[in-house]
Amino acid sequence: MRLSGRVATITGSGRGMGEVMARAFAREGASVVISDINLEAAQSVAEDIVRQGGKACAVRIDVTKSEDADLLADAAVKQFGKLDIHVNNAGISTTKLFLDTPREDLERILQVNLVGAFLCAQAAVRRMLPNKYGRVINIASLSGQRGGVGRAAYGTSKAALELLTKVMSVELASSGITVNNIAPGAIATKMAAEQHDKATRDAYHYLIPQRRYGTPEEVADAAVFLASEEARHVCGHTLNVDGGYQTAGLMFTLGSSEAPPPPAV
């Protein structure tokens, strides 16, 4: 129960990694505001958490709207009395070559992944400041750290989010609010299943030292840590949950004439 007594808001928590994080936070004792652009999905998650003995409520928000960012933060205060933890998880992606990426795609992705995180974090922090306590966790990405094919728009939005996290951390640390990133690598989510073709999956399996995709539960474990008292002196850090991908260089079996191992299934 590392989050007992805490109140958390998580964007995009009606499904995928956000849902798994919300359930993990609730199991650790937090009261959770489930938010998603799909209200039915958010309500379904919140109701299930309550059925299992947790505390949760649901709101529909569009993270790109300032008034919705305020709505989310106010929902936490109104329903549970305060706001301690905010996770910027909502995000969208596309896989298109730089020259094939239309301006509309770039602007849409930046609005959700960067502007949305900016607005929701602002609203959350304004409710945290009176209590001199807070945790903000931004879900960045390995794509914001390395130049991957087809990641012109998505990778740019996540790289900007990493820098925003550093600025926020420096400005807010003395107020008792820590700000950190989680940078997932290839994670077995519905979005990945929809957007990663065989070539993409084979490439990831070959380049990740653990030879597998991560799971949403492994990202949620990292989020619980950063939201807990165990991470009270961690500020402005990016925690990669990527099976070693960011660290890896040349990989082969030393002294062997065999070809590199085939991609994992």
Does residue 245 have an active-site annotation?
Answer: no
**Which residue is catalytic, options 154, 204, 213, 245?**
154
DSSP string, the chain: -TTTT-EEEETTTTSHHHHHHHHHHHHTT-EEEEEESSHHHHHHHHHHHHHTT-EEEEEE--TT-HHHHHHHHHHHHHHHS---EEEE-------B-GGG--HHHHHHHHIIIIIHHHHHHHHHHHHHGGGT-EEEEEE--GGGTS--TTBHHHHHHHHHHHHHHHHHHHHHGGGTEEEEEEEE-SB--HHHHHH--HHHHHHHHHHSTT-S-B-HHHHHHHHHHHHSGGGTT--S-EEEESTTTTT------TT--SPPPPPP-
Give the active site residues. 154
